[in-house]
Amino acid sequence: MAGTAVRGARFGLIVTLLGTLMFVPDTLVLRVVDVGMMDVAVLRALFALAATVVGIALFARHTIPTRADFLQVSTLLFILLHGLGTVLFLTALSLTSVANVLLISATAPFLSALMSYFVLGERIDRMTAYGIVAVFAGVGIIASGSLGGGALIGNLVALVNAATSAAYYVVVRHKAAQSQLVPSVFGFLVTALVALPFTGGLEFTGQQVALIAISGGVILAGGSALLIIGPRYLPAPEVTMIIMLESVAAPVLVWAVLGEDPGVRSVIGGGVIFAALVVHTLWRWQSAPKPE
């Protein structure tokens, strides 16, 4: 049994890491598109929906849930969180820098730890409690650099998005015995429906459509599928800690290609958040039981 658990954890680690790496270039692609983010949200979600349906039809028909499973509260909550998360992410991206959005989103591991405590009864250890204090201190430093400006609203939306992401992975963990691929299709539909009233006409050039197709049909659909599978084998806080790689790599990529400078306080606050995540991850790695 122990060997099976270890193999399952390794599989979950690999799948989650691959899903995270797929998302690294996503914010760069979205910045290059240069069109209203709600317009992007609709078309991106539809591409992701179509790609996921094709993937299920070809490779995962056995994951289609029964009507009873689909109508469970946890499944419906998954669909809602899945759909709203994308809208919140793109809204924040339109109001503040890529670095701020992703670094604030990196608070999700600790938010998920809190949610796991209340929802799943998972204990919060002392190191995680220290980490919670540290990451929110980092968020405070980031926010202090945008007081009185529109970026502050973007930072707050990014924090709400982090809470949504944390809840999303707690639900995935809670539903570990069931695949959420089919519900994710409806999550993409929720994204499109929520964003549709706020679009500016849905007018795109051919190049913009191609870039959005990459973002939605490849990155969002593929990355989401992998990050639905991975959390089934790992605790929610551990999953979101792996995802912190995107929070570091994606802003660096956007800075290197587009020169988007997040500002000194964002760098300092992001450093505090990243340091807390690294220390906590190393502690978890060191204290984890070793397989015989």
Instruction: Supply 37's token pair.
Output: 């983010």
The predicted-structure confidence for 146-184, as pLDDT tens digits, reads as follows 655 557 888 899 999 999 988 887 777 666 556 678 889
The predicted-structure confidence for 5-62, as pLDDT tens digits, reads as follows 556 777 888 888 898 899 999 999 999 998 999 999 999 999 999 999 999 999 878 8
CB 271 within 8 A of CB 142: no
Placement of tokens 């300092």 in the chain: 268
The predicted-structure confidence for 72-93, as pLDDT tens digits, reads as follows 888 899 899 999 999 999 999 9
CB 187 within 8 A of CB 77: no
Q: How far is CA 103 from the centre of its chain?
A: 12
pTM value? 0.81
Placement of tokens 């979101």 in the chain: 240
